[in-house]
Structure 1
Amino acid sequence: MSGIIYKIVPTSLWRNAQAAGTFEGAPVDLADGFIHFSTADQVAETARRHFAGQDDLLLVGIDGDRLGEALVYETSRGGALFPHLYGPLPMTAVLSEQALPLSPDGRHLFPELEA
Structure 2
Amino acid sequence: MLIYKIFRAPEWAELEQAGQTRGAPVDLADGYIHFSTAAQARETAAKHFAGEDGLILAAIEAGALGDDLTWEPSRGGQLFPHLYRPLRRAEVLWSKDLPLVQGRHDFPEEMA
- TM-score per shorter chain, which class? over 0.9
- Structure with the larger helix share: 2
Cα distance in structure 1, aligned partners of 2:11 and 2:60: 16
The equivalent position to 2:72 in structure 1, one of 71, 74, 77, is 74
Say whether 1:109 aligns with 2:87: no
Structure with greater strand share of residues = 2
Equivalent residues of 1:4, 1:114 under 8 A apart: no
Question: Over aligned residue pairs, what C-alpha RMSD do you find?
Answer: 1.2
Which consecutive unaligned segments of at least 5 residues does structure 2 have?
A: none
- Segments of structure 1 that go 5 or more residues without pairing to the other structure are none
Q: Which residue of 1 aligns with 2:49?
A: 51
1:74 counterpart SS class:
strand
Report the equivalent of 2:20: 22
Identity of aligned residues (%): 55
Displacement after TM superposition at 1:58 (Å): 0.3
Q: How many residues align?
A: 112
1:50 maps to a residue whose letter is: H
SS of residue paired to 2:39: coil
Runs of 4+ in 1 over 6 A off after TM superposition: none
